[in-house]
Amino acid sequence: METRELFWEITSLGHTLFFVVAGAAMAVAAAGVAWHVYRYARARRSPVPVHPWRGFWRMVFDVFTQRTVHRRDRRAGHAHTPIMYGFLLLLAATSIITVEYDISEPFFGFTFWHGDFYLAFSLIADLAGLGLIVGVVYMMWRRWQVRPPKLAYRREYRGETETRPDARAWEWDDTLFLWALLLIGVTGFLQEGVRLAMDQPPWGPWSPVGWVLAQIFLGLGMDEAAAAAVRRANWWIHGIAALAFIAAIPWTKAKHIIAVLGSLSTRDALALRRLPKPALPRTAVAEDAEPEVGFGSIAEFSWKDLLNLDACTKCGRCHEACPATASGAPLSPRDLILDLRTHAARSAFKPGANAAALIGDVIEAETLWSCRSCGACMEICPVGIEHPPMIVQMRRQLVEDGAMEQQLRDTLDMIANRGNSFGESPRSRGGWTAALEFPVKDVRAEPAENLWFVGDYASYDPRNQDVSRTVARLFRAAGLDFGLLYESERTAGNDVRRVGEEGLFESLTEHNLTAMGEAKQFDAIVTTDPHSYNTIRNEYPDFGDVAPIRHYTSVLAELLESGRLTVVEPLGKRVTLHDPCHLGRLNGHYDEPRRVLELIGCELVDMPRCRDNSFCCGAGGGRIWIPDPVGKERPAENRMHEAASLGNLDTFVVCCPKDLTMFEDARKTSGHEGDFVVQDLAELVAEAIDLKSLDLKEVPALVDRITEAAATRIADTVADRLAERLAETVTERVLSELATRAPTLAAAPQPAPAEEPQEQTEATPTAGPWRAAPASAATLPPYEVPAKEGPRVLVAVKRVGELNPDFAIDEAGGTIADEHFEYELNEWDEAALEEALLLTEKLDAGEVVAVTIGPEDAEETLRRALAKGAHRGVRVWDESLRDADPVTVARVLAGVASQESPDIVLTGAQSADLGHGATGSALARILGLPHAAVVLGIEWDGADAMTVTRELEGGMRHQLSLPAPALLTVQTGGNTPRYATMRMIKQAKKKPIAVVDGAGVGLDQAGAVVRRLYEPPKSGRAAMIEGDAEAVAKAIADIIRDKRGEV
């Protein structure tokens, strides 16, 4: 009967030995699996929901179709498929034999491995083995002959000239993996060949490869003895190789065979589209437990992340797709994953013994900051690794530690303070609509079908404002009803979240959701910004109800298709389209912009990297706020070359505001200025429908508006004038009346004009008798002051207003309205606060109390101080203090100090708004404290004296010692103030703030009164050079050359 002998000429000792080795191999493999499972079980829970069963079927589909392996590398896919199937079938074959030999026969006396089944078995196993060998040989050829760059581990992007030891280990891993497979396959066939040569059964051709080999051996004259010798030895080689491979599976590259089942099954359908909220600690019981910050050590990775790391096959597809890697930034997603995996394994083997810091030693901060969160890596990963969420988790830690670049920090501050990344006034957010011919609805005041969420770039960037207006006109022309949130809109937060500033993201989300909730009725949201689109669509729902959102490309496609916009003349342009990462790859809208292009009659030629392989412009993930190093090729420039290589292009079409900014710039810097233009899709649509010829004005409404505006203006002016005139005439009349009626009264002081507490003209040159009247401390209502535990540092902080560019002075009132200011913490106070924190940290004792004088809004400033580490806050306010002078402010602060009895008082050297540079020194005098001003450094051990370094003119410094307690006014530059994340700011809500209502003083001791507030005269101002940077550079060059000629 057709079958074969399993243990030919194997002695019973050999038999036993074989089973011992096999058992050991299985045990090693099982231990490896158990070890991994144990690690996953101990790791943190996944911050995103995992649906393994839903994912399971997709995984089965992906594995058996090898869909993900074929993508963007068909040959590797074609080679991998027979390897995988070959391996699986051979594994199955071996298992079948084991089942018969070890189970069914000994226990049930039942055999099946014979006859037709055996013949089919032999044929399939032979073909599987053949496939395996062919696949492996191709892979070897590819790896060592073709040498695709994505398989090289030397980090040329980091300037490495030598392969690092870890990477050499990876090379060994790859090499052994391939050779092991080849060895198993080849020895298997060899075994079959000699067996068939010896036995020559009639069914030999059912094992075609073995049969051919047998014929060859026989043809070469192999005799029985030689064949038997080979058969005996090779049996062991083959067997041990196969068993060793089994043992090695969980420990080597082969582990992906198992890990991939998990990583593909647990793929997060929303990965990167929706980043995880910070997880609660594993042990959290209380509801108000503080969530984790981010990943600061490998122990903070979730089991899903660890599984991802283990699944990596080093295939290099992410390395190839990453825009950061491509532009020479210090990041390769592949290397990131491999470094993390190596570190994770080391830490798991020797917990505690591995002192390497995750961020810094293993992964450098600059690597993390290089990510554009474009999703290209995870999108192409055949085993479902989700790199960007891990990167963001580590960035969260960096943000928490304040370890970020200055510009990013400033931008985040700006967003926190003003709600936009441009540092512009929130009030001018809707400013771009002013130049439209028609009014744009304010959804806060009247309902509209669509709420247009504009986003920062489309609101504030001049080039994008043009596009926004075009889109508005298109909507208008199509009769689409829309409105804006105007200044109630803030940055949507997509990129803020990807930078890792989760707290700020949450507060932006909260703000925008509230603004939407408070707005009048609207049915849907539209936006031109794919970043806002992504976060509002995928992330906002985690925080509250939100209307469905559409990207304007879908809206335009629909308007054109339904005929609400009609193409007048097809454009006939040859264009290419850049798929924005957040629109295409992340949200799958590849076709809508293409449909629009088709409808307006453009010939679309796609770039080689399009759709899911679109190449990021480089702006994502907050990178637009971090400058790229000068000199290196930026991703956007790389993209421009790609577009130019298409040839004869008219237009490079974008449909994302950031893309417009990035590519407009890159087109110039990459030298393709003459090759094509960069335009927004909307601009092409406008051209195609001849938007210019349409009359969009709503004449009656406009007339109404003009009349209304004119009427208000006239009424305002007339009212003022009238009041003035009335006052003058009445006063004149009254005075002359008085004069005639009672001549003696005429010399009495005139009624003070309403505008100013103006001093009165006096006959004598002195203002009363000379007297010194020392300023005194305010008597404030007592508030609860905890008992002192260690030294107490009192820091005065102030929120300072910065004037908007379009501010106006109300000269009559001598004031500037609040709306012209943006507020932030005074930078000198920030330095003082930092100094205070450093002092207590160094002493490891005591508390920092921050005090501010300001209205309720100013509490945010105080909270910022608390977030940075101050222990308590005190806020004093009374309306009478609104325009208080430094002496009055000092008196109020003295009132606080007398309740606090601090050991050191710190203030800023001056405030950035009014720049008196006086409050601190006046306060010191009122409190009778020793003091120094413009201080750069303080050394104090808590004892009776401190050493103070104060700054003099010209960079000279003066060191002196002062008795404690003392007051110091702090200069910037002596320290680097720490960053307070929004999370820390929120946490600071738990810290106490005592609110003191009342000033405790009048303005009687005020040093001065403001007589007049005005803009400085414009005479003598610079002659302004008009034009763009190019023109200005020319003019400046002329001045320089001219000057040089003189010198």
Partner 1 sequence: MAGILIVAEHFDGVLRDVTQEMIGAATEVRDGLGGPLAVLIIGQDVDALASAANLEGVDEIVTIAQPDGHFDPALYEEAVCAVAEARQVRLVLIGHTAAGMAFGPAVAARLGSGFASDVFGLSVEGSKPIATRSGYGGKVSMDLAFPDKPVIVLTLRGATFKAPEAAGNASILPFAVDLDTVPGAGNHIDYLPAPPADVDIGKAEFILSVGRALGEDKNLPQFAGLAERLGATLGCSRPVADSGWLPKAHQVGQSGTIAGNCSLYLALGISGAVQHLAGMKHVDTIIAVNTDPEAPIFNVAHHGACVDIFELAEALEREFN
Ligand X SMILES: Cc1cc2nc3c(=O)[nH]c(=O)nc-3n(C[C@H](O)[C@H](O)[C@H](O)COP(=O)(O)OP(=O)(O)OC[C@H]3O[C@@H](n4cnc5c(N)ncnc54)[C@H](O)[C@@H]3O)c2cc1C
CA distance 874 to 853: 8
Which residue(s) pair with 800 in the sheet?
Answer: 824
Q: Are 260 and 80 in contact (CB under 8 A)?
A: no
Residue 627's binding partner out of ligand X, partner 1, none, with CB under 5 to 8 Å set by partner kind: partner 1
CA distance 320 to 333: 9
Single residue of 403, 914, 964, 1003 touching partner 1 by CB under 8 A: 914
- Cα 438 to Cα 447, 460, 476, 698: the distances in Å are 17, 20, 9, 6
> Nearest approach, Cβ of 799 to ligand X (angstroms)?
17
Single residue of 23, 351, 541, 963 touching partner 1 by CB under 8 A: 963
Q: Which residue has the tokens 């080093």?
A: 314
Nearer to ligand X, 682 or 800 (CB): 800
Amino acid at 962: L
Residue 913's binding partner out of ligand X, partner 1, none, with CB under 5 to 8 Å set by partner kind: partner 1
CA distance 832 to 276: 37
Single residue of 49, 765, 782, 1045 touching partner 1 by CB under 8 A: 765
> Nearest approach, Cβ of 1021 to partner 1 (angstroms)?
5
Q: What letter does residue 810 receive in the DSSP assignment?
A: B
- Cα 39 to Cα 32, 42, 348, 859: the distances in Å are 11, 5, 8, 46
Single residue of 434, 435, 747, 773 touching partner 1 by CB under 8 A: 773
Based on the shown chain and the rule CB under 6 A, indicate whether residue 909 belongs to the binding site for ligand X: yes
Nearer to partner 1, 605 or 912 (CB): 912
Q: How far is CA 951 from the centre of its chain?
A: 39
* Helix, strand, or coil (residue 524): strand
Residue 543's binding partner out of partner 1, ligand X, none, with CB under 5 to 8 Å set by partner kind: none
Q: Are 605 and 646 in contact (CB under 8 A)?
A: yes
Residue 261's binding partner out of ligand X, partner 1, none, with CB under 5 to 8 Å set by partner kind: none
CA contacts within 13 A on the Cβ side of 688: 23
Q: Are 581 and 614 in contact (CB under 8 A)?
A: yes
Nearer to ligand X, 211 or 828 (CB): 828
Which residue(s) pair with 196 in the sheet?
Answer: none
Angle made by CA atoms 914, 916, 921, in degrees to the nearest 5: 145
Nearer to partner 1, 13 or 630 (CB): 630
Binding segment toward partner 1, per CB under 8 A, in 254-262, 323-331, 374-382, 925-933: 925-933
CA distance 894 to 928: 10
Binding string, residues 147-176; x marks residues near ligand X by CB under 6 A: ------------------------------
Single residue of 948, 982, 996, 999 touching partner 1 by CB under 8 A: 948
Site size toward ligand X, by CB under 6 A: 3
Nearer to partner 1, 63 or 796 (CB): 796
- Cα 264 to Cα 98, 250, 378, 512, 1015: the distances in Å are 29, 17, 12, 35, 66
> Nearest approach, Cβ of 144 to partner 1 (angstroms)?
40
Q: What letter does residue 302 receive in the DSSP assignment?
A: B
Ramachandran quadrant class, 225 (left: phi over 0; alpha: psi -120 to 50; beta: rest): alpha
Nearer to ligand X, 509 or 969 (CB): 969
Q: Which residues, 500 to 529, sit near partner 1 by CB under 8 A?
A: none
Say how many residues make up the chain. 1047
Binding string, residues 648-687; x marks residues near partner 1 by CB under 8 A: ---------------------x------------------
Residue 260's binding partner out of ligand X, partner 1, none, with CB under 5 to 8 Å set by partner kind: none
Based on the shown chain and the rule CB under 8 A, indicate whether residue 428 belongs to the binding site for partner 1: no
Cβ count near 474 (within 10 Å): 25
Based on the shown chain and the rule CB under 6 A, indicate whether residue 411 belongs to the binding site for ligand X: no
* Residue among 485, 482, 491, 472 nearest 658 (CA): 491
Nearer to ligand X, 893 or 935 (CB): 935
Q: Which residues, 787 to 826, sit near partner 1 by CB under 8 A?
A: 801-803, 805, 807, 809, 816
Residues 6+ apart with CB under 8 A from 1003: 880, 884, 885, 888
Single residue of 918, 982, 988, 1001 touching partner 1 by CB under 8 A: 918
> Nearest approach, Cβ of 909 to ligand X (angstroms)?
5
Q: Are 259 and 310 in contact (CB under 8 A)?
A: yes
Two structure tokens written together for 833: 């606060």
Helix (H) or strand (E) holding 336: helix 333-349
> Nearest approach, Cβ of 1011 to partner 1 (angstroms)?
4
Based on the shown chain and the rule CB under 8 A, indicate whether residue 915 belongs to the binding site for partner 1: yes
Residue 159's binding partner out of ligand X, partner 1, none, with CB under 5 to 8 Å set by partner kind: none
CA distance 463 to 222: 82
Residue 643's binding partner out of partner 1, ligand X, none, with CB under 5 to 8 Å set by partner kind: none
Angle made by CA atoms 416, 422, 426, in degrees to the nearest 5: 65
> Nearest approach, Cβ of 978 to partner 1 (angstroms)?
14
Amino acid at 610: C
Q: Are 865 and 947 in contact (CB under 8 A)?
A: no
CA distance 717 to 725: 12
CA distance 113 to 950: 93
> Nearest approach, Cβ of 1007 to partner 1 (angstroms)?
3
Binding string, residues 377-406; x marks residues near partner 1 by CB under 8 A: ----------------------------xx
- Cα 912 to Cα 343, 824, 882: the distances in Å are 47, 10, 17
> Nearest approach, Cβ of 870 to ligand X (angstroms)?
22
> Nearest approach, Cβ of 263 to ligand X (angstroms)?
45
Single residue of 661, 910, 911, 975 touching ligand X by CB under 6 A: 910
Single residue of 211, 972, 988, 996 touching partner 1 by CB under 8 A: 972
Two structure tokens written together for 302: 């979730």
> Nearest approach, Cβ of 917 to ligand X (angstroms)?
6
CA distance 270 to 542: 12
Residue 105's binding partner out of ligand X, partner 1, none, with CB under 5 to 8 Å set by partner kind: none
Helix (H) or strand (E) holding 795: strand 792-796
Q: How far is CA 133 from the centre of its chain?
A: 46
Residue 692's binding partner out of partner 1, ligand X, none, with CB under 5 to 8 Å set by partner kind: none
Single residue of 286, 747, 1014, 1045 touching partner 1 by CB under 8 A: 1014
Compute and round to an integer the Cα radius of gyration of the chain.
Answer: 38
Based on the shown chain and the rule CB under 6 A, indicate whether residue 907 belongs to the binding site for ligand X: no
Single residue of 593, 951, 983, 984 touching partner 1 by CB under 8 A: 951
> Nearest approach, Cβ of 789 to partner 1 (angstroms)?
27
Nearer to ligand X, 378 or 408 (CB): 408
Single residue of 957, 992, 995, 997 touching partner 1 by CB under 8 A: 957
Nearer to ligand X, 572 or 627 (CB): 627
Task: Order the strands of the 574-577 sheet from edge to edge.
Answer: 603-604, 574-577, 651-654, 677-680
Nearer to ligand X, 383 or 889 (CB): 889
Amino acid at 83: I
Binding string, residues 742-761; x marks residues near partner 1 by CB under 8 A: ---------------xxxxx
Single residue of 562, 879, 1021, 1045 touching partner 1 by CB under 8 A: 1021
Q: Which residues, 913 to 952, sit near ligand X by CB under 6 A?
A: 934
Q: Which residues, 193 to 232, sit near partner 1 by CB under 8 A?
A: none
> Nearest approach, Cβ of 735 to ligand X (angstroms)?
48
The site for ligand X (CB under 6 A) is made up of 909-910, 934
